[in-house]
């Protein structure tokens, strides 16, 4: 997915996650390459899912093992990943 946004006098060609920090209770502070930052609460999504491959991330230790891969949050080699636009909006 390619997202193009204009900011003042420059253009960001691709929105990517620059850093992510686990805050607690399934919330991650996500910082993007355009300076935007959101605290994303994953708990409602995880708790409402009925699929065992998603519910396994209610194990907080497993949930905390995310990485930034190609500018996006990634759990266990793409076992769990979210659209970058949703993370950018701060909602999943």
30-58 pLDDT, tens digit per residue, is 999 999 999 999 999 999 999 999 999 99
Which residue spans within 1-92 are E strands per DSSP?
Answer: 5-7, 10-12, 17-24, 27-32, 37-41, 66-69, 72-75, 80-81
Tell me what pLDDT residue 3 has: 54
pTM: 0.84
Strands 80-81 and 72-75: antiparallel
Range of the domain at 70: 5-89
Give the chain's domain count: 1
Rounded to whole angstroms, the Cα distance separating 1 from 24 reads 29
């Amino acid at each position: 997915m390619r997202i193009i946004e204009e900011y003042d006098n420059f253009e960001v060609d691709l929105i990517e996650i620059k850093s992510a920090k686990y805050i607690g209770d399934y919330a991650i502070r996500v910082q993007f390459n355009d300076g935007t930052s959101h605290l994303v609460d994953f708990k409602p999504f995880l708790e409402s899912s009925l699929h065992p491959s998603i519910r396994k991330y209610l194990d907080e230790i497993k949930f905390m093992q995310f990485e930034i891969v190609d500018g996006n949050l990634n759990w266990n080699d793409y076992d769990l990943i979210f659209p970058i636009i949703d993370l950018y909006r701060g909602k999943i």
